[in-house]
Amino acid sequence: MEHHLSGRLHWDTTHAARPGWLLFLDGRPGDTPTMLPEFETSLPRDASHAEVTRLIGEMLRRAIGHLPQQMQVTPLEDGTGYAFVATYEGSA
């Protein structure tokens, strides 16, 4: 069975040391997104689409335990990050 995770990768500048990426997972409609605890600073804001896609996959792998089989990544219109939908095979 196929299931999906969706969320946002957001470029955050509120950390005092240096800016970086935060990953938020969507919940049920109306719920506040869940922020993953990792703050990724190794990839710059102007990274390529492919680099951002790999970063999202790696952050999801660390949180969930395995990489998604497929991922769709779209830049946000306001330029602050990316929306994504990750597809996993197996039980939900």
- Terminal Cα distance for the chain, rounded: 7
For the stretch 58-68, pLDDT in tens is 999 999 888 99
Residue 60 and residue 73: Cα distance in Å, rounded? 13
Residue 15 has pLDDT above 90, yes or no: no
pLDDT on residue 79: 87
Q: What phi and psi, each to the nearest 5 degrees, are found at residue 84?
A: -145, 155
* Sign of CA pseudo-dihedral 74, 80, 57, 29: negative
**Pairing status of strand 2-12 against strand 20-25:** antiparallel
pLDDT surpassing 90 at residue 91? no
Question: Range with the lowest mean pLDDT among 18-22, 48-52, 56-60?
Answer: 18-22
